[in-house]
Amino acid sequence: MTIKAEIQLLEQSALIELFILDSTNLPGGGITRFHAGTNKLLQPVVWQGQTYEPLPIEASGFDMTTQGATPRPKVKIVNINGLLSAQVKQFDDFVGCKLTRKRTFAKYLDAVNFPSSTNPTADPNQFIADDIWYVERKVSENRHIIEFELSSAFDLMGVLLPNRQIIQNSCPWKYRGAECGYAGGYYNVNNATTSVQADDICAKTLTACKVRFGTSAVRFGGFPGAVRNAR
């Protein structure tokens, strides 16, 4: 069952929220993966081969709207033994760092999360499209909790629209990169399956994207709805 079908069920598997804090834009920064420890998941969670450590976090305000100002989500992270305070000081409150929220259902998690490392429904290609935000500012800090306000990429100082060229059927994302997000099997440039990694090439078309992701979770970076006006 695809994640699109799962979402439409009256009774769903537990929804898992995962977070990636990317501070590589700062000297000495790195990648931190963590999850909120909800749904009784108090141990590390492995998703798409990456391990996310449990860290109490409360996130809100991610709802998107077509009216008014863009949302400014807030995240509160527990300041365990002051460790987060030390990192906040070192990395200038993480301002400008990217925070990615990833979501999937527990049934699709890597098999290693389950007893005997067995999960017949494990599928790294079944996920809700990532939410990508940037740390705008530190709202508050005490010995227990640090709160941050996030903003979208469009809200960053100096960003103009359109930020990239509008091309109808050509994806600008790096294949298997962060924006692409594909981590499945190998396909050649003609969208045929292959067992040779060196032949794993994406044609960067919408068709190629659908072949890899299926029609329910396409990550195509082009603009298939764009058309040239007749003159």
Q: Report if residue 17 sits inside a domain.
A: yes
Q: Report if residue 230 sits inside a domain.
A: no
Residues 71 and 145 in one domain: yes
Q: Dmax of the chain from CA atoms?
A: 66
Q: Report if residue 231 sits inside a domain.
A: no
Residues 135 and 30 in one domain: yes
Residues 150 and 113 in one domain: yes
Chain segment 186-227, per-residue pLDDT in tens? 999 999 999 999 899 998 888 899 898 886 667 888 877 765
Q: Report if residue 151 sits inside a domain.
A: yes
Q: Count the domains in the chain.
A: 2
Residues 109 and 142 in one domain: yes
Q: Report if residue 82 sits inside a domain.
A: yes
Question: pTM to 2 decimals?
Answer: 0.63
Chain segment 108-135, per-residue pLDDT in tens? 999 998 888 999 989 999 998 888 899 9
Chain segment 151-165, per-residue pLDDT in tens? 876 665 555 555 556
